[in-house]
Protein backbone atom coordinates (compact mmCIF):
# COMPACT_ATOMS: atom_id res chain seq x y z
CA UNK A 1 0.00 0.00 0.00
CA UNK A 2 1.43 3.36 -1.01
CA UNK A 3 -1.39 5.71 0.02
CA UNK A 4 -0.31 8.36 2.55
CA UNK A 5 -3.28 9.33 4.76
CA UNK A 6 -3.26 12.68 6.58
CA UNK A 7 -2.92 12.84 10.36
CA UNK A 8 -6.18 14.78 10.46
CA UNK A 9 -8.38 11.71 10.00
CA UNK A 10 -11.19 11.76 12.57
CA UNK A 11 -10.27 10.04 15.83
CA UNK A 12 -12.18 7.09 17.21
CA UNK A 13 -14.88 7.02 19.85
CA UNK A 14 -16.43 3.56 19.88
CA UNK A 15 -17.69 1.87 23.05
CA UNK A 16 -17.95 -1.91 22.97
CA UNK A 17 -20.63 -3.16 25.35
CA UNK A 18 -21.35 -6.83 24.90
CA UNK A 19 -22.49 -7.21 21.31
CA UNK A 20 -23.85 -3.68 21.07
CA UNK A 21 -21.70 -0.96 19.56
CA UNK A 22 -22.36 2.68 20.40
CA UNK A 23 -20.65 4.99 17.93
CA UNK A 24 -20.20 8.75 17.87
CA UNK A 25 -21.22 10.43 14.59
CA UNK A 26 -17.63 10.89 13.44
CA UNK A 27 -16.14 7.64 14.70
CA UNK A 28 -13.83 5.65 12.47
CA UNK A 29 -12.23 3.17 14.89
CA UNK A 30 -12.56 1.57 18.32
CA UNK A 31 -10.88 3.61 21.00
CA UNK A 32 -9.35 0.83 23.08
CA UNK A 33 -7.34 -2.34 22.57
CA UNK A 34 -8.96 -5.70 23.19
CA UNK A 35 -6.98 -8.25 25.19
CA UNK A 36 -8.06 -11.85 25.50
CA UNK A 37 -7.08 -14.64 27.86
CA UNK A 38 -8.73 -17.83 26.75
CA UNK A 39 -8.31 -21.57 26.76
CA UNK A 40 -5.74 -23.58 24.85
CA UNK A 41 -6.18 -24.46 21.22
CA UNK A 42 -8.62 -27.33 20.60
CA UNK A 43 -7.46 -30.56 19.06
CA UNK A 44 -9.84 -33.00 17.40
CA UNK A 45 -13.33 -32.40 18.70
CA UNK A 46 -15.73 -29.52 19.07
CA UNK A 47 -15.01 -27.42 22.16
CA UNK A 48 -16.52 -24.35 23.79
CA UNK A 49 -15.14 -20.87 24.23
CA UNK A 50 -15.33 -18.76 27.36
CA UNK A 51 -18.94 -17.80 26.59
CA UNK A 52 -20.02 -21.39 26.15
CA UNK A 53 -20.54 -21.26 22.39
CA UNK A 54 -19.27 -24.26 20.47
CA UNK A 55 -16.79 -23.73 17.67
CA UNK A 56 -15.51 -25.92 14.83
CA UNK A 57 -12.96 -28.59 15.66
CA UNK A 58 -9.35 -27.70 14.88
CA UNK A 59 -9.79 -23.91 15.05
CA UNK A 60 -7.94 -22.19 17.87
CA UNK A 61 -9.49 -20.03 20.57
CA UNK A 62 -6.37 -18.44 22.10
CA UNK A 63 -4.23 -17.22 23.75
CA UNK A 64 -4.48 -14.14 21.52
CA UNK A 65 -4.60 -10.37 21.87
CA UNK A 66 -5.89 -8.00 19.21
CA UNK A 67 -4.71 -4.53 18.25
CA UNK A 68 -7.12 -2.41 16.20
CA UNK A 69 -5.48 0.31 14.13
CA UNK A 70 -5.30 3.24 14.02
CA UNK A 71 -6.77 3.64 17.52
CA UNK A 72 -4.41 1.32 19.38
CA UNK A 73 -1.25 2.58 17.71
CA UNK A 74 2.09 0.80 17.44
CA UNK A 75 3.19 1.20 21.08
CA UNK A 76 2.47 -2.45 21.88
CA UNK A 77 4.55 -3.62 18.94
CA UNK A 78 7.41 -1.25 19.74
CA UNK A 79 7.36 -2.51 23.35
CA UNK A 80 7.79 -6.08 22.18
CA UNK A 81 10.80 -5.07 20.09
CA UNK A 82 12.49 -3.04 22.84
CA UNK A 83 11.76 -5.74 25.41
CA UNK A 84 13.48 -8.50 23.43
CA UNK A 85 16.00 -10.50 25.44
CA UNK A 86 17.51 -12.84 22.87
CA UNK A 87 16.01 -12.60 19.39
CA UNK A 88 13.82 -10.62 17.02
CA UNK A 89 12.62 -11.95 13.66
CA UNK A 90 10.70 -9.59 11.38
CA UNK A 91 9.26 -10.38 7.96
CA UNK A 92 7.87 -7.22 6.37
CA UNK A 93 6.59 -6.30 2.91
CA UNK A 94 7.27 -2.60 3.49
CA UNK A 95 9.33 -1.19 6.37
CA UNK A 96 9.69 2.57 6.65
CA UNK A 97 9.25 3.37 10.32
CA UNK A 98 12.15 5.22 11.96
CA UNK A 99 10.99 4.30 15.47
CA UNK A 100 10.95 0.59 14.66
CA UNK A 101 14.22 0.82 12.75
CA UNK A 102 15.97 2.59 15.64
CA UNK A 103 14.54 0.09 18.12
CA UNK A 104 15.80 -2.82 16.02
CA UNK A 105 19.23 -1.19 15.79
CA UNK A 106 19.29 -0.61 19.56
CA UNK A 107 18.42 -4.26 20.16
CA UNK A 108 21.28 -5.37 17.93
CA UNK A 109 23.67 -2.99 19.69
CA UNK A 110 22.94 -4.64 23.05
CA UNK A 111 23.48 -8.14 21.69
CA UNK A 112 20.00 -9.26 20.63
CA UNK A 113 20.03 -11.43 17.50
CA UNK A 114 17.94 -9.25 15.18
CA UNK A 115 17.01 -10.62 11.75
CA UNK A 116 14.86 -8.73 9.25
CA UNK A 117 13.54 -10.12 5.97
CA UNK A 118 12.30 -7.57 3.42
CA UNK A 119 10.42 -8.04 0.17
CA UNK A 120 12.44 -7.30 -2.96
CA UNK A 121 10.12 -8.62 -5.65
CA UNK A 122 7.91 -5.52 -5.68
CA UNK A 123 9.23 -3.32 -2.87
CA UNK A 124 13.02 -3.36 -3.16
CA UNK A 125 13.26 0.32 -4.07
CA UNK A 126 11.01 1.36 -1.18
CA UNK A 127 12.86 -0.87 1.27
CA UNK A 128 16.37 0.03 0.09
CA UNK A 129 17.02 2.85 2.55
CA UNK A 130 15.79 0.74 5.45
CA UNK A 131 17.96 -2.17 4.33
CA UNK A 132 21.02 0.09 4.26
CA UNK A 133 20.29 1.61 7.68
CA UNK A 134 19.73 -1.75 9.38
CA UNK A 135 22.76 -3.43 7.83
CA UNK A 136 24.91 -0.50 9.00
CA UNK A 137 23.67 -1.00 12.57
CA UNK A 138 24.51 -4.69 13.13
CA UNK A 139 21.05 -5.94 12.18
CA UNK A 140 21.09 -9.12 10.11
CA UNK A 141 18.95 -7.98 7.19
CA UNK A 142 18.23 -10.00 4.06
CA UNK A 143 16.15 -9.72 0.93
CA UNK A 144 13.39 -12.30 0.65
CA UNK A 145 13.85 -15.02 -1.96
CA UNK A 146 13.66 -13.71 -5.49
CA UNK A 147 10.67 -14.35 -7.72
CA UNK A 148 8.09 -14.36 -4.92
CA UNK A 149 6.28 -11.41 -3.39
CA UNK A 150 6.75 -11.55 0.38
CA UNK A 151 3.60 -9.74 1.47
CA UNK A 152 3.74 -11.31 4.96
CA UNK A 153 3.90 -8.94 7.96
CA UNK A 154 5.04 -10.84 11.06
CA UNK A 155 7.15 -10.09 14.14
CA UNK A 156 8.47 -12.79 16.50
CA UNK A 157 10.28 -11.97 19.74
CA UNK A 158 12.38 -14.36 21.86
CA UNK A 159 10.73 -17.37 20.20
CA UNK A 160 7.73 -16.85 22.47
CA UNK A 161 5.49 -14.17 20.96
CA UNK A 162 4.46 -13.54 17.36
CA UNK A 163 2.47 -10.63 15.94
CA UNK A 164 0.48 -11.49 12.81
CA UNK A 165 -0.35 -8.21 11.09
CA UNK A 166 -2.46 -6.87 8.25
CA UNK A 167 -0.39 -3.68 8.36
CA UNK A 168 2.88 -2.73 6.77
CA UNK A 169 5.23 -0.94 9.16
CA UNK A 170 5.11 2.37 7.31
CA UNK A 171 4.65 5.20 9.77
CA UNK A 172 3.18 7.60 7.21
CA UNK A 173 0.21 5.24 6.78
CA UNK A 174 -0.68 4.58 10.42
CA UNK A 175 -2.95 7.49 11.30
CA UNK A 176 -5.67 7.00 8.72
CA UNK A 177 -5.59 3.29 7.95
CA UNK A 178 -7.75 0.46 9.25
CA UNK A 179 -5.62 -2.55 10.15
CA UNK A 180 -5.52 -5.42 12.65
CA UNK A 181 -2.65 -7.13 14.47
CA UNK A 182 -3.01 -10.38 16.43
CA UNK A 183 -0.49 -11.04 19.21
CA UNK A 184 -0.12 -14.82 19.45
CA UNK A 185 1.73 -16.75 22.18
CA UNK A 186 0.56 -20.26 21.26
CA UNK A 187 3.69 -22.42 21.18
CA UNK A 188 2.79 -24.32 18.03
CA UNK A 189 2.03 -21.13 16.12
CA UNK A 190 5.24 -19.38 17.19
CA UNK A 191 7.29 -22.50 16.42
CA UNK A 192 5.75 -22.77 12.95
CA UNK A 193 6.35 -19.08 12.22
CA UNK A 194 9.96 -19.35 13.44
CA UNK A 195 10.68 -22.45 11.36
CA UNK A 196 9.30 -20.73 8.26
CA UNK A 197 11.30 -17.57 8.95
CA UNK A 198 14.51 -19.58 9.38
CA UNK A 199 14.01 -21.22 5.99
CA UNK A 200 12.98 -18.01 4.22
CA UNK A 201 15.88 -16.04 5.69
CA UNK A 202 18.40 -18.56 4.31
CA UNK A 203 16.43 -19.06 1.05
CA UNK A 204 15.67 -22.71 1.75
CA UNK A 205 12.44 -24.29 0.54
CA UNK A 206 9.82 -25.02 3.18
CA UNK A 207 6.17 -25.92 3.33
CA UNK A 208 5.12 -23.74 6.27
CA UNK A 209 3.76 -25.74 9.24
CA UNK A 210 0.14 -25.03 10.14
CA UNK A 211 0.68 -24.50 13.86
CA UNK A 212 -2.67 -24.47 15.67
CA UNK A 213 -4.56 -22.14 13.37
CA UNK A 214 -2.18 -20.45 10.90
CA UNK A 215 -3.25 -19.54 7.37
CA UNK A 216 -0.38 -19.46 4.87
CA UNK A 217 -0.28 -18.42 1.25
CA UNK A 218 -0.06 -20.15 -1.03
CA UNK A 219 -0.38 -23.30 1.10
CA UNK A 220 -3.86 -23.12 2.61
CA UNK A 221 -5.14 -19.54 2.53
CA UNK A 222 -7.79 -19.85 -0.17
CA UNK A 223 -9.20 -23.03 1.35
CA UNK A 224 -9.23 -21.52 4.86
CA UNK A 225 -10.93 -18.29 3.80
CA UNK A 226 -13.54 -20.19 1.78
CA UNK A 227 -14.12 -22.45 4.78
CA UNK A 228 -14.93 -19.45 6.98
CA UNK A 229 -17.32 -18.02 4.37
CA UNK A 230 -19.00 -21.34 3.63
CA UNK A 231 -19.49 -22.12 7.33
CA UNK A 232 -21.62 -19.01 7.97
CA UNK A 233 -25.30 -19.62 8.72
CA UNK A 234 -26.36 -16.14 9.87
CA UNK A 235 -23.85 -13.34 9.27
CA UNK A 236 -20.63 -12.54 7.43
CA UNK A 237 -18.64 -9.33 7.94
CA UNK A 238 -15.81 -8.60 5.53
CA UNK A 239 -13.06 -6.02 5.15
CA UNK A 240 -10.34 -6.20 2.51
CA UNK A 241 -8.21 -4.00 0.30
CA UNK A 242 -8.83 -5.99 -2.89
CA UNK A 243 -11.74 -7.96 -4.35
CA UNK A 244 -10.69 -9.77 -7.49
CA UNK A 245 -10.55 -13.46 -6.64
CA UNK A 246 -13.55 -15.06 -8.36
CA UNK A 247 -13.73 -17.97 -5.91
CA UNK A 248 -14.01 -15.64 -2.93
CA UNK A 249 -16.63 -13.43 -4.56
CA UNK A 250 -18.60 -16.49 -5.68
CA UNK A 251 -18.59 -17.82 -2.10
CA UNK A 252 -19.82 -14.48 -0.74
CA UNK A 253 -22.58 -14.37 -3.37
CA UNK A 254 -23.60 -17.94 -2.54
CA UNK A 255 -23.74 -17.09 1.17
CA UNK A 256 -26.06 -14.14 0.52
CA UNK A 257 -28.28 -16.25 -1.70
CA UNK A 258 -28.69 -18.88 1.01
CA UNK A 259 -29.89 -16.20 3.44
CA UNK A 260 -26.70 -15.12 5.22
CA UNK A 261 -26.55 -11.38 6.01
CA UNK A 262 -23.30 -10.44 4.24
CA UNK A 263 -21.68 -7.00 4.67
CA UNK A 264 -18.53 -5.86 2.87
CA UNK A 265 -16.58 -2.68 3.71
CA UNK A 266 -13.77 -1.47 1.46
CA UNK A 267 -12.13 1.61 0.01
CA UNK A 268 -13.63 2.46 -3.38
CA UNK A 269 -11.60 1.50 -6.43
CA UNK A 270 -12.91 1.21 -9.98
CA UNK A 271 -10.97 -2.05 -10.34
CA UNK A 272 -13.45 -3.73 -8.00
CA UNK A 273 -16.64 -2.24 -9.49
CA UNK A 274 -17.63 -5.35 -11.41
CA UNK A 275 -17.15 -7.51 -8.32
CA UNK A 276 -19.15 -5.05 -6.21
CA UNK A 277 -21.96 -5.09 -8.77
CA UNK A 278 -22.10 -8.89 -8.76
CA UNK A 279 -22.07 -8.98 -4.97
CA UNK A 280 -24.90 -6.45 -4.73
CA UNK A 281 -27.00 -8.38 -7.27
CA UNK A 282 -26.62 -11.43 -5.04
CA UNK A 283 -27.85 -9.48 -2.00
CA UNK A 284 -24.51 -8.58 -0.40
CA UNK A 285 -24.48 -5.18 1.38
CA UNK A 286 -21.42 -3.29 0.11
CA UNK A 287 -20.30 0.04 1.60
CA UNK A 288 -17.17 1.91 0.52
CA UNK A 289 -15.07 4.80 1.74
CA UNK A 290 -13.80 7.26 -0.88
CA UNK A 291 -10.17 6.84 -1.86
CA UNK A 292 -9.17 10.11 -0.24
CA UNK A 293 -6.59 11.15 2.34
CA UNK A 294 -9.51 12.64 4.29
CA UNK A 295 -11.24 9.25 4.66
CA UNK A 296 -10.38 6.08 6.54
CA UNK A 297 -8.48 3.71 4.27
CA UNK A 298 -9.48 0.04 4.53
CA UNK A 299 -6.27 -1.96 4.45
CA UNK A 300 -7.45 -4.64 6.92
CA UNK A 301 -8.13 -8.15 5.69
CA UNK A 302 -10.75 -9.99 7.75
CA UNK A 303 -13.78 -12.25 7.48
CA UNK A 304 -16.04 -12.88 10.49
CA UNK A 305 -18.65 -15.63 10.37
CA UNK A 306 -21.62 -15.79 12.77
CA UNK A 307 -20.20 -13.39 15.38
CA UNK A 308 -21.71 -14.00 18.83
CA UNK A 309 -23.29 -17.29 17.75
CA UNK A 310 -22.39 -20.95 18.00
CA UNK A 311 -19.74 -21.79 15.43
CA UNK A 312 -18.36 -18.24 15.21
CA UNK A 313 -14.93 -17.84 13.64
CA UNK A 314 -12.72 -15.22 12.04
CA UNK A 315 -9.88 -15.02 9.56
CA UNK A 316 -7.49 -12.08 9.59
CA UNK A 317 -4.01 -11.68 8.14
CA UNK A 318 -1.97 -10.26 5.29
CA UNK A 319 -3.98 -11.95 2.52
CA UNK A 320 -5.87 -9.76 0.08
CA UNK A 321 -8.71 -11.28 -1.91
CA UNK A 322 -6.66 -11.53 -5.10
CA UNK A 323 -5.30 -14.43 -7.10
CA UNK A 324 -1.72 -13.26 -6.54
CA UNK A 325 -2.18 -12.96 -2.79
CA UNK A 326 -3.95 -16.28 -2.29
CA UNK A 327 -2.17 -18.44 -4.87
CA UNK A 328 1.33 -17.01 -5.35
CA UNK A 329 2.63 -14.73 -2.58
CA UNK A 330 4.09 -15.56 0.82
CA UNK A 331 1.35 -14.43 3.22
CA UNK A 332 0.36 -15.24 6.79
CA UNK A 333 -2.94 -15.00 8.62
CA UNK A 334 -4.79 -16.72 11.42
CA UNK A 335 -8.18 -18.46 11.66
CA UNK A 336 -9.60 -18.55 15.17
CA UNK A 337 -12.73 -18.96 17.25
CA UNK A 338 -11.38 -16.69 19.99
CA UNK A 339 -14.53 -14.93 21.20
CA UNK A 340 -12.94 -11.62 22.23
CA UNK A 341 -11.01 -11.28 18.96
CA UNK A 342 -14.18 -12.02 17.00
CA UNK A 343 -16.20 -9.52 19.02
CA UNK A 344 -13.67 -6.73 18.52
CA UNK A 345 -13.18 -7.28 14.78
CA UNK A 346 -16.93 -7.66 14.24
CA UNK A 347 -17.62 -4.42 16.13
CA UNK A 348 -14.94 -2.59 14.17
CA UNK A 349 -16.34 -3.69 10.82
CA UNK A 350 -19.84 -2.74 11.94
CA UNK A 351 -18.62 0.74 12.85
CA UNK A 352 -16.80 1.10 9.54
CA UNK A 353 -19.86 -0.10 7.62
CA UNK A 354 -22.02 2.50 9.39
CA UNK A 355 -19.65 5.32 8.40
CA UNK A 356 -18.69 4.22 4.89
Question: Residue 230 maps to which CATH number?
Answer: 3.30.870.10
**Domain-embedded: residue 184:** yes
pLDDT, one tens digit per residue, over 8-50 is 333 333 333 333 332 232 333 333 334 433 333 332 233 343 3
- pLDDT, averaged across the chain: 87
The confidence score (pLDDT) of residue 63 equals: 82
Higher pLDDT, 280 or 30: 280
Provide the pLDDT confidence category of residue 60 given band limits of 50, 70 and 90: low
**Domain-embedded: residue 9:** no
Provide the pLDDT confidence category of residue 61 given band limits of 50, 70 and 90: low
**Domain-embedded: residue 3:** no
Residue percentage of the chain with pLDDT more than 90: 82
CB neighbour class for 75 (10 Å; exposed up to 12, middle 13-18, buried from 19): exposed
Range of the domain at 153: 14-355
- Rounded Cα distance between 343 and 60, Å, is 15
Other C-beta atoms within 10 Å of 44: how many?
A: 7
pLDDT, one tens digit per residue, over 164-222 is 999 999 999 999 999 999 999 999 999 999 999 999 999 999 999 999 999 999 999 99
**Domain-embedded: residue 270:** yes
CB 293 within 8 A of CB 215: no
DSSP output for 58-96: T-B--SEEEEEETTS-SHHHHHHHHT-SSEEEEEES-EE
**Number of domain units in the chain:** 1
Question: Does 138 have pLDDT greater than 80?
Answer: yes
Provide the CB-side half-sphere exposure for 119 (13 A, CA): 21
pLDDT, one tens digit per residue, over 238-279 is 999 999 999 999 999 999 999 999 999 999 999 999 999 999
pTM of the model: 0.86
- Rounded Cα distance between 330 and 218, Å, is 6
**Domain-embedded: residue 104:** yes
Question: Does 290 have pLDDT greater than 50?
Answer: yes
**Domain-embedded: residue 347:** yes
Q: What is the mean pLDDT of residues 105-116?
A: 98
**Domain-embedded: residue 90:** yes
pLDDT, one tens digit per residue, over 309-335 is 999 999 999 999 999 999 999 999 999
**Domain-embedded: residue 7:** no
Amino acid sequence: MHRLPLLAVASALVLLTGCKVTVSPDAVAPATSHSTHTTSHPSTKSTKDTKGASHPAGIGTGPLRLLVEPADGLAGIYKLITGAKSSVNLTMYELRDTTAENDLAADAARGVDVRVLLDRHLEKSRNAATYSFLSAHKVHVAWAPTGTTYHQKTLTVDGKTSVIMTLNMVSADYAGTRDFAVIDTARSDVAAITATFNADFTHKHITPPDGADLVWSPTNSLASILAVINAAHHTLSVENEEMNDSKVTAALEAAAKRGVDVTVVMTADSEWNSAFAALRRAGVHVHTFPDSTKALYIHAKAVVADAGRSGQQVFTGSENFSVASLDENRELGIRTANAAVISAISATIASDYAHA
